[in-house]
């Protein structure tokens, strides 16, 4: 393995979500030096957007020993947070620190609170009084209104809208373009389908979809393939 600079940030995953993360990190001033780890061994030794794919997640302990201190979870949840939470907890247990990823055109209120490893993509909005937990994704163009509370490892997908004082449970997923009415509670590991309009509370580990959103099944969405 080539010498690793201490300032390197390791991105865990090399799919489409990681591509957006690299765009943010490489466009920062100064750019953040990055390397990728990826489960697909056929991609080891190649590069994405000029960033090397060093190998699999099993390299992370060696990288930590060489002085790497920061990581980013580069996998999307797409309805199931287990992969994102597993990668986050694995890297954190090795003593690495999660790097926040905040696009220059994200709007983050100084009166909001965000936890470690939060990712805010372009044109996302997090308004005053919002509280975001650990390893949260607010994707491109998504809105988290005032006084919302989003628990660890949840993802708010592209263009979704959370109105005021919405509560999103740990590991929940709000699909692209969904709208959640003010004051609604989305349970732990629940999934809201793309384009849905949620007007009543969603129970934990269920999937809802439609306008208005209705129960589809009594379990969370299928695991992500990314």
Q: Radius of gyration of the chain from Cα atoms? A: 17
Nearest Cα to Cα of residue 127 among 164, 155, 95, 87: 164
Please give the residue that has the higher pLDDT: either 147 or 2: 147
Q: Is the pLDDT of residue 112 over 70?
A: yes
pLDDT in tens, 9-66: 999 999 999 999 999 999 999 999 999 999 999 999 999 999 999 999 999 999 999 9
> pLDDT tens across 7-20, in order?
799 999 999 999 99
Q: How far is CA 14 from the centre of its chain?
A: 14
Query: Which residues does 92 contact at the CB level (< 8 Å), separation at least 6?
Result: 98
3-state secondary structure at position 182: coil
Peptide bond into 220 cis (omega under 30): no
The fraction of the chain above a pLDDT of 70, given in percent, is 93
Which strand ranges, in their side-by-side order, compose the sheet holding 149-150?
113-114, 131-132, 149-150, 167-168, 185-186
Query: Mind listing the pLDDT tens digit for each residue in 197-208?
Result: 999 999 999 999
pLDDT band for position 220 (cuts 50, 70, 90): low
Q: How far apart, in Å, are the Cα atoms of 169 and each of 9, 59, 192?
A: 28, 32, 12
- The 3-class SS string of 95-159 reads CCEECCEECCCCEECCCCEECCCCEECCCCEECCCCEECCCCEECCCCEECCCCEECCCCEECCC
Domains and CATH numbers, the chain: 9-98 (3.40.50.20), 101-214 (2.160.10.10)
Residue 6 pLDDT: 60
If DSSP codes are grouped into helix, strand and coil, which group holds residue 64?
helix
- Residue range 147-159: average pLDDT? 97
CA 50, CA 53: separation in Å to the nearest integer? 9
Q: Which residue has the tokens 């190649």?
A: 46
Q: Write the DSSP string, 3-61.
A: ---TT-EEEE--SHHHHHHHHHHHTSSSPPPEEEE-S-GGGTT-EETTEEEEE-GGGHH
How many other CB atoms are there within 10 angstroms of residue 215's CB atom?
12
């Amino acid at each position: 393995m080539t010498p690793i600079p201490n300032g390197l940030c390791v991105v865990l995953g090399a799919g489409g979500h990681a591509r957006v993360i690299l765009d943010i990190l490489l466009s920062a001033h100064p750019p953040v030096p990055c390397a990728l780890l990826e489960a697909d061994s056929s991609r080891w030794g190649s590069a994405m957007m000029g960033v090397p794919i060093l190998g699999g997640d099993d390299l992370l302990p060696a990288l930590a020993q060489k002085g790497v201190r920061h990581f980013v979870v580069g996998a999307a949840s797409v309805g199931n947070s287990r992969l994102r939470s597993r990668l986050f907890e694995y890297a954190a247990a090795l003593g690495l620190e999660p790097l926040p990823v905040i696009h220059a055109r994200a709007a983050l209120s100084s009166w909001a609170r965000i936890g470690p490893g939060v990712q805010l993509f372009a044109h996302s909005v997090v308004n005053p009084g919002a509280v975001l937990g650990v390893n949260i994704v607010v994707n491109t163009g998504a809105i988290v209104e005032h006084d919302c509370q989003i628990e660890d490892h949840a993802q708010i997908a592209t263009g979704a809208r959370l109105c005021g004082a919405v509560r999103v449970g740990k590991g929940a997923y709000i699909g692209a373009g969904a709208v959640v009415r003010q004051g609604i509670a989305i349970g732990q590991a629940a999934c809201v389908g793309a384009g849905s309009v949620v007007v009543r509370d969603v129970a934990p580990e269920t999937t809802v979809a439609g306008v208005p959103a209705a129960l589809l099944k009594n379990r969370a969405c299928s695991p992500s393939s990314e």
